[in-house]
Amino acid sequence: MTFLHEEIGRGVAMAGFRDIIGHKQIIEHFQNAIKLDKVSHAYILNGPDLSGKKMLAEAFAMALQCEKKGIEGCMECHSCKQAMNHNQPDIRYIVHEKPNTISVDDIRKQINQDIVIKPYANPYKIYIVDEAEKMNPQAQNALLKTIEEPPAYAVILLLTTNADLFLPTILSRCICFHLKPAANENVRSYLMKCLQVPDYQADICTAFAQGNVGKAMKLAGSEDFQDLKDSAVQLMKRIKDIDIYEMGEAVKQINEYKMSINDYFDIMMVWYRDVLMYKATMDINGLIFKEQIYDIKKQASRSSYHGIQEILKALEKAKIRLNANVNFDIVIELLLLTMKEN
């Protein structure tokens, strides 16, 4: 999967295929379709939030409408400039008033009744439906009628985090792409070269993003994530030296991040995997927390292999317990005791 600055909203100028990290096969398919004049009437782009769905859809739409008729938007013609500013009259974005539902009225008014009107001055009329999984069954059935008998100039792009929620009849009439993660080295390189993120921060954001460039960008620019990371790291540095009577304060500290507790646990997991890796290899090159090498070394010398494995197991157990609604403070206290004793 991959991407540059996708679902970061309408305020961000549209980018072309050349700006996209990864998604090579999808881009090649789109470009071949343009070159061979075999553009389908309906596509599904399926992938996690911030994975690049909107960026791919917009780059494709811009290329289709480009006045220079190439396989990539030229970024210079009148149509491309309009597209980049999200005011190209024949690239339509479907909006919905209800936050969790795209209704049958939304589809009828914005697609079905509009699609019969020919494009203003462009070869195609393109509809981008973000969060398309929010279409209720009635909306999907209404859209199905249009997908079954579309005008020659129509292209509908459905962007979704879960294509399994579409009716089988919709799926069978669309070309479906599943977005794959980008290579970590490409994500890291993008953060450092294009966003000037320091190497140690790029390592951490890349590790957490798991190939999702949009998520990596979001983390790199998030003060909340930096605060959460700093809190977790400081706690792990001193956990072995905390007295039992100080445990309450440590629990209280973690309680501040209750709404992001899975991210907090993930930071801890990455830390202890670094400790385990350093203990096994004595090599800092593969570590995520390279800038904390002094404390990683110290912890590796104080913990056994078995002890580190017990901590990693305890973190998994803590996640399961919280999902089962076990008391938050008790779960955290048990976890911290395991970390202290191992």
CATH code where residue 48 lies: 3.40.50.300
291: domain CATH number is 1.20.272
Cα torsion 16, 20, 26, 30 to 10°: value is 10
Q: Is residue 9 part of a domain?
A: no
- The answer to whether position 311 is within a domain reads yes
Rounded alpha-carbon distances, angstroms, from residue 231 to 160, 226, 305 = 34, 9, 25
Report residue 98 CA to chain centroid gap: 23
162 and 38 co-located in one domain: yes
Does residue 76 lie within any of the structural domains? yes
Residue 13's pLDDT is: 56
Under DSSP, the state recorded for 15 is -
Whether the CB-CB separation of 90 and 153 falls below 8 Å is answered with: no
In a domain, 144, yes or no: yes
Q: Are residues 37 and 118 in the same domain?
A: yes
Residues 164, 231 within the same domain = no
Give the span between the Cα atoms of 272 and 269, in whole angstroms: 5
The answer as to whether 49 is a domain residue is yes
Do 229 and 328 lie in one domain? The reply is yes
Do 337 and 247 lie in one domain? The reply is yes
Claim to verify: residue 174 and residue 253 sit in the same structural domain = no
Interval 169-191 mean pLDDT: 93
Do 159 and 29 share a structural domain? Answer: yes
Q: Give the chain's mean pLDDT.
A: 91
Say which range, 77-91, 243-257, 294-308, has the weakest mean pLDDT: 243-257
Last residue of a domain, one of 143, 178, 213: 178
The verdict on residue 192 lying in a domain is no
Is residue 161 located within the same domain as residue 256? Answer: no
Last residue of a domain, one of 178, 210, 233: 178
> Could you give the CA distance from residue 99 to residue 6 in angstroms, rounded to a whole number?
19
Whether residue 302 is contained in a domain is answered as: yes
pLDDT over threshold 50, residue 192: yes
d(CA 51, CA 71): 22
**Tally of domains in the chain:** 2
Q: Is the per-residue pLDDT at 232 higher than 70?
A: yes
Mean pLDDT of 257-264: 91
- Tell me, yes or no, whether 167 and 254 share the same domain: no
Model confidence at 136, pLDDT cuts 50, 70, 90, reads very high
| Res 9: pLDDT | 39
The reported pLDDT for the residue numbered 1 is 29
Question: Which residues partner with 125 through β-bridges?
Answer: 154
Q: Are residues 75 and 150 in the same domain?
A: yes
Q: What is the mean pLDDT of residues 11-16?
A: 63
Confidence of residue 97 (pLDDT cuts 50, 70, 90): confident
Give the model's pLDDT for residue 15. 75
Q: Which residue would you say has higher pLDDT here, 5 or 326?
A: 326
Cβ atoms of 42 and 150 closer than 8 Å: yes
Q: Which of 122, 153, 178 is the last residue of a domain?
A: 178
137 and 22 in one domain? yes
**Partner residues linked to 154 by β-bridges:** 125
125's enclosing H/E stretch is strand 125-129
Q: What is the pTM of this model?
A: 0.76
Helix (H) or strand (E) holding 315: helix 305-323
Cα–Cα distance list, 279 to 275, 293, 303, 305, 315 (Å): 6, 12, 9, 8, 19
Give residue 5's pLDDT band: very low, low, confident or very high (50, 70, 90). Answer: very low
Residues 37 and 124 in one domain: yes
Span 114-133, average pLDDT? 95
**Spatial separation of the C-alpha atoms in residues 104 and 138, rounded to whole Å:** 6
Classify residue 193: in a domain, yes or no. Answer: no
Residue 313: give the domain boundaries.
224-341
**pLDDT exceeds 70 at position 2:** no
The residue that leads in pLDDT, 102 or 15, is: 102
